[in-house]
Chains A and B, each alone.
Chain A
Amino acid sequence: MMQERYQMMLDMIQARLLEKQRGMDFFIDAMFRNVLRAFDPEIPTVYVSGYAFPMELLWAFDVTPFDFEIACNNLPEVMSGNGSGFMLESEKRGYSRNICSFDRLIIGCLNKGILPKGDLFLTSSYYCHGKAKTNEIVAAHYGMESVLLDVPNEINPDAITYVAAQLRNIAAKLEAVTGTKLDPARLKESIGRSNQARASLLTIYDWMKRRPCPWNGVEACLLGLGGALFWGSTIRMEIHRLLLAQISERVKKGKIIPEDYRILWFPWVPVQNTNIFNILTKNRANVVMAEASFVFWPELDENRPFESLAMKALMDPHVGKVERRIQNLVKSIDDYRIDGVIHFGTTSCYHENAAFPMIRDAIKKKGVPLLNLSGDMSDERNYSASETDIRISAFLEFLAG
């Protein structure tokens, strides 16, 4: 059933791509094709959360990385606001509604029997422990072991050594499922591609500092999360190339959406269909940057691949201290000349909700208006369109002075 859904969506996106090669369409096409490839028994399928794993390691092997979170959340039912049907499948098996909808959704999909069989189940301890728990449940269902990349909270030489050693161990597991030895040259290439893509993304972000903003922060956020799967692949480089071409064409032709307010968004945009972005667009409030799309890591060192990938994992703002998130957010308020900040909280995202008061206070201190929207990434039962409408309208009125 997952295959049919993705095949249908792939056909639609490919029709669009035939019209014109757009960066985001290319990304979505790659994502859909990747989900379908995960069902191919000829290529080992590796479960992973791309946004919480240094993917460059996987692209050095012939495997299909399957982002089980993103794949389940992009099902048409979820995006159209009917994801709770799957979630009920986990709830009736005792998984409480106080567990994040991402996790309930995956367990629901598992119980519906729509997930591909995996050959290796990788997960990490960031952002949240829910994903590690879910990954273990899915792996156990297939009688497999779940491998956890444990990333400590603090960055120090011992932590780097610790994470790098785990990545070496994971490389050995990848060698076992593919039956091929890790080729250091391939890993080097993967890291090189990641660095090139990182550089081009920074160029795109420079464009986004312009007023009006020539790209959309919501798309940047979606790419930041779903597209993380492709760090280290040629796909990620191509997405950026197309995006850059589109942006410069838009600027050249003066085809940029006018904007009255520039919004910074954090932490994630909802997957389910909401009225939020329609209201913002109608009011010429443009999301120009999103936290999930920040480039938080320095260029990777091709000659010390495991250590630099360990560092990338450790530097993820959702691993360590909130202070790092605060610094990044406050800096981007200046860099992107932000008029207002919107926080979209997911009911059961415990680590995010506990971090929020410190971030809220820092933004307040910065003197920028902040709207705290509570909702849910994908469970429509925890989202109220009318309440959201009222709150955003009030916020926009406030911005208008």
Chain B
Amino acid sequence: MNQQLTIAPKRVGWFCSYVPEEIILAAGCRPVRLEGRVERFQEIDSYLNANLCFTIRNIFESGLTNQYDDLNAVIFANSCDGMRRLYELWSHYIQTPTAYFLEIPKNRDENSAAFFSSSLLNLKRQMEEDFAISITAERLVQAGIQMNERRGKMLELFGRQKLSPPPCKGSELYNLAIQESRLPKRDIDRKIQFALEKTYPVQSAGKAAPRLLVSGNEGASFTLFQLIEKSGADVVLFDTCRGMNHYTGMVSMEKDPIQSIARRYLFKPTCARMPGNAERMERLTALIDEYAIDGVVYSGVQFCDYSLFESALIEPFLKERSLPVLFVENDYIWSNKEQIRTRIEAFVEMIQNKRRTA
């Protein structure tokens, strides 16, 4: 193991929004949200089909080319069929850093909460052994309190976006969310506080740009936000698993800490991995009203089954409500950026025209 890593706080990679950072923090480690780190594929094609989800391809290629050497462990989760296999591919071909596998139930009831608690206990035990630390109830409670505070502040920032015009650019907020999932928690708390205290220039309401909501899966990236903003619209809200969805719901701490953590994650707003299309549409409709949204951009990573199914449901659902919607697919590195730019520009223009004639 890298000498430096034995001194610096141990870094544990995680990917899915259903993986509780509390456990990592309570193990005295620094949670780092895993991202694909390669711009170009070199090795992957000799392992994986070209039509496998590009997030998985990118993370696997990053592992194959030793891009995660700064991590001490990685937690994979049973997020989707591909992720389940990625864990195995990792354990088979890459091995380091150490990989853990976390089961996440798909239903949301008491039986599932009990099973999720047992999966978290398993993870906790493995981490205790590997990191030679006792993850006590106190440490878990502490981590829960810390995460709740941060969630509360992030939600406050998201809540302010209801104003017209929104105080914060979507890309700035996205950047903050990215940093929140990567930086040491001390540093990020300062940044969030700064964002909360910052006074944003008030624009005149008349000039407000079209208000867009970004929905979809993990691949909604900075590039997309920039493209939208450059085309003259505001990303008022993003309710992806890097966005408001990720921060919604607190750890209650009324039960045993592991059970409380399990419940928070299982009962938070769902993503497309879970059953409950109707419930997700309801949430989307409520957010559209609360944030006075003019149009929705649904973003998915190519070959992600979940977003392929969900986008097909969302499009007619919103169109029926006369709300413009655009589905964009990316290959994680957005090599199709120019093509998407053209589509976004046309989409924003269409909304502007609609507003003019309204």
Contact = CB atoms under 8 A, between A and B. Distances in A.
Contact of B52 (A95, A146, A159, A354): A354
B3 interface: no
A354 B85 contact: yes
B81 A350 contact: yes
A267 B316 CA distance: 35
A100 B81 CA distance: 13
A95 B52 CA distance: 17
A93 B312 contact: yes
A150 interface: yes
A112 B286 CA distance: 32
Interface string B308-337: 110111011000000000010000000000
Q: How large is the interface on B (under 10, 10 to 19, 20 to 34, 35 or more residues)?
A: 35 or more
Interface stretch (A12-20, A126-134, A187-195, A236-244): A126-134
Contact of B85 (A146, A150, A152, A351): A351
B78 to A, nearest CB: 5
B305 A133 contact: yes
Interface stretch (A63-71, A162-170, A384-392): A162-170
A30 interface: no
Interface in A326-353: 345, 347-348, 350-351, 353
B49 A153 contact: no
Prevailing SS type, chain A contact patch: helix
A94 B311 contact: yes
A154 B49 contact: no
B183 interface: no
B284 to A, nearest CB: 16
Interface in B21-57: 47-49, 51-53, 56
B249 interface: no
A354 B86 CA distance: 8
B305 A356 contact: no
A169 B112 CA distance: 12
A43 interface: no
Interface stretch (B101-109, B141-149, B157-165, B213-221): B101-109
Interface stretch (B126-134, B225-233, B270-278): B270-278
B169 interface: no
A375 to B, nearest CB: 13
Interface string B187-223: 0000000000000000000000000000000000000
Contacts of A128: 81, 305
A254 interface: no
Nearest to B105: A150
A351 B105 CA distance: 18
A152 B122 CA distance: 14
B269 interface: no
Contact of A94 (B52, B118, B273, B312): B312
A140 B277 contact: yes
A357 B312 contact: no
B51 A132 contact: no
Given A98-B303, A347-B51, A353-B52, A150 B315 contact: no
B165 to A, nearest CB: 32
A355 interface: yes
B85 A355 contact: yes
Contact of A99 (B52, B93, B308, B315): B308
Given A350-B82, A353-B51, A129 B308 contact: no
21 contacts: A93-B316, A96-B308, A129-B81, A137-B277, A140-B278, A146-B275, A148-B107, A152-B78, A152-B119, A154-B101, A158-B115, A158-B118, A169-B111, A322-B88, A345-B49, A347-B51, A354-B52, A355-B85, A357-B93, A358-B89, A358-B92
Given A94-B311, A94-B316, A152-B119, 16 more contacts: A93-B312, A98-B308, A129-B80, A129-B273, A132-B106, A133-B305, A140-B277, A146-B275, A153-B101, A158-B119, A162-B111, A323-B88, A348-B303, A351-B81, A353-B51, A354-B52
